[in-house]
Structure 1
Amino acid sequence: MTDETRIRVDVGDGSISAIVARPAGAVATVVVAHGAGAGMEHPFLSGFTRALDREGLATVRFDFPYREAGRRFPDRPPVAIAAWRAVAEAAARLAAEAGSPGEPIWGAGKSFGGRMASMAVAEGMPAAGLVFLGYPLHPPGKPAQVRDEHLYGITLPMLFLQGTNDPFAAPNDQLDDIVARIGPNARLDWIEGGGHSFEVKGRKRPQDEIAADLAPRVSAFVRAR
């Protein structure tokens, strides 16, 4: 396993924790944010980032300020976006220090973390592209409350990985239509039978293994661009 290093990233008047890993010959850095209910130490996030490292991509995963403070409820978008900006800037500095100035920095996230990455990009945060691990298109059972307005102005490459049984994106054709409207820079890969964390009913697997299986898709998308 690629060595992991813990760092602190200044955000506003405080700081947040992050874990950095950089395999030899890394061609890009993928910054990964957690979902609303779990932090950067969750097996899903650690399994995903470590699999990306094995694919030859550097990774930075981090905790939003509310997790750092031990609170249960997610930060409001301005706070989460500020955290995203700070960590993306830190990732770029780390790449430069490693001898790779100008390295592509991608934003990725599980559910809430991915949506906040896209909102940060919509507000001007530089990034090479975005990866969504279960985009929370709407609250479960409320498909009319769609969270898509800011996506249409993003011209970066975007990869949506979504389970076909994800209640945050049902019915499936709703997300199909939205990705088509975004344009050719966006791609949607459905994971057959997957729930919001890509778990498949009747098939018990550890979260780190489930997430690791997503890494080759992400690596191929990043390398192709």
Structure 2
Amino acid sequence: MEQSMIELTQKIDALTAQVAYLADQAQIAERQRQERAELMRDLMPIANDAFRLSVEQLEEIQEYVDLGDLLRLGKRLLRNGRNIDKMLDQLESMMDLAATMGPLANEGFAKAVDVMALMERKGYFAFAQGGLKIADNIVTSFSEDDVKHLGDNVVLILNVVKDMTQPEIMTFIRNTLMVAQGEIEKPVDTSLLALLGQMRDPAVRRGLALTMSVLRVIGSQANGK
């Protein structure tokens, strides 16, 4: 008798547990149903607005869009699915490359800005601006015939410049200018006796001899012309 009571009690407990489980499942199902209902209530206005906007937009373009065109476009997209996939892969690769090169490009740009700032401080840009102004003056000062004559004689001009820029010639011109600048500031005695006195200086006599030689060459060139 006691064993039967124990078994009956166990069955009642098991049945109670099953009923409680079913009640919990029913509550969960009810909550999910309510949540779905609330979600539908929230989504319906959005869906209605989206449908209304879609209809309005389609009405605006309906004269430009044909159902056959849409079908052909859809078929073409389906036929080129692999190509589109490859294109997307390439796009992703380009984006990865851009992400990799971005820091390098930023570093290079920053370095370029620093170099340009250094050049600005050293005066490169001011010098270039002055050079452009000089070039502009040259271009506006010479006619077409002048440029043609310069082109015909450019070799001779370069040879003259090359000869004039020899170290000994440049040193001679520089020393002469420095001495002349110093002598100009001094008082000069232009009397005949003073000039005759300077003739006793061997350096003066040599200078006169060189001057006369140069004048003789210039005169011969003028006569040859």
Say yes or no: TM over 0.5. Answer: no
Structure in which a larger fraction of residues adopt strand: 1
- Over alpha carbons, which structure has the higher Rg? 2
Q: TM-score, normalised by structure 2?
A: 0.17
Structure in which a larger fraction of residues adopt helix: 2
